[in-house]
Homo-oligomer: A and B are copies of this chain.
Amino acid sequence: MKLNIVLADDHQMFRHALRALLEKEPNLNVVAEAADGEALLRIIGEQAVDIVCIDIGMPGMNGIEATRRLLALRPDIRVIGLSAYADRQFVIDLLNAGALGYVTKAEASEELLRAIHHVQQGRTYLCPDVSGAVASALRFDTDLRASAHQLTARERQVLQLIAEGHTSARIAERLHIAASTVEVHRRNIMRKLGLHNVAELTRYAIHSGISPVVDEGL
């Protein structure tokens, strides 16, 4: 029985390339690709999926948020996070969201295959440079979780869209809520974080990993 895999990454080129690589493995079957979180959720509602490899740094709904929602719908799916960075906060947030694996793109592709093998059996797998970062975090800072969860899921979502340069009106359209509601989220975010303008919010979003450093179409 082949494993059904879905790839989620905003870079089509990366998805295609990764598909070519994974399909060289006889027991792996890439059944679908998604360019963003919305597409991913649509896909897992439509077909049988065993494992999802998801990029953390996607615009719109990011990988962590997407993981949270995906597992709420289909808790049986195994999620492996992919990221350009071995950022502690990323790893912690993703594991809290329910993912089983975490591999950086700087690692060899064999690491991803190893991760797939592990999570398929329900085990956790962190690639070497990530597990090192997490271990040091656990030694020095025991309450990382608290700071990571000051913001609610909805607030993180709004924050990411603000940091991507959208106005409250556009964010409201995107989330299918009223602009006034977005304004409320905006103020609550600023109050919780002690920030007072878009520049500071953007810096926070990038630094905390809610928003990727780079954006498309600049």
Q: Which residues of chain A have a CB within 8 Å of any CB of chain B?
A: 10-14, 16-21, 24, 57, 82, 84-88, 103-109, 111-112, 129, 133, 162-167, 193-204, 206-207, 213-218
Structural contact, A17 and B216, CB atoms closer than 8 A: no
Copies held by the complex: 2
Structural contact, B218 and A12, CB atoms closer than 8 A: no
Structural contact, B218 and A13, CB atoms closer than 8 A: no
Would you give the shortest CB distance from A213 to chain B, in whole angstroms? 6
Structural contact, B203 and A108, CB atoms closer than 8 A: no
Bound-complex Cα distance A214 to B200 (A): 10
User: 6 nearest interchain CB pairs?
Assistant: A17-B17, A11-B105, A20-B21, A16-B109, A165-B199, A202-B202
Chain B residues within 8 Å of A213, by CB: 203, 206-207, 213
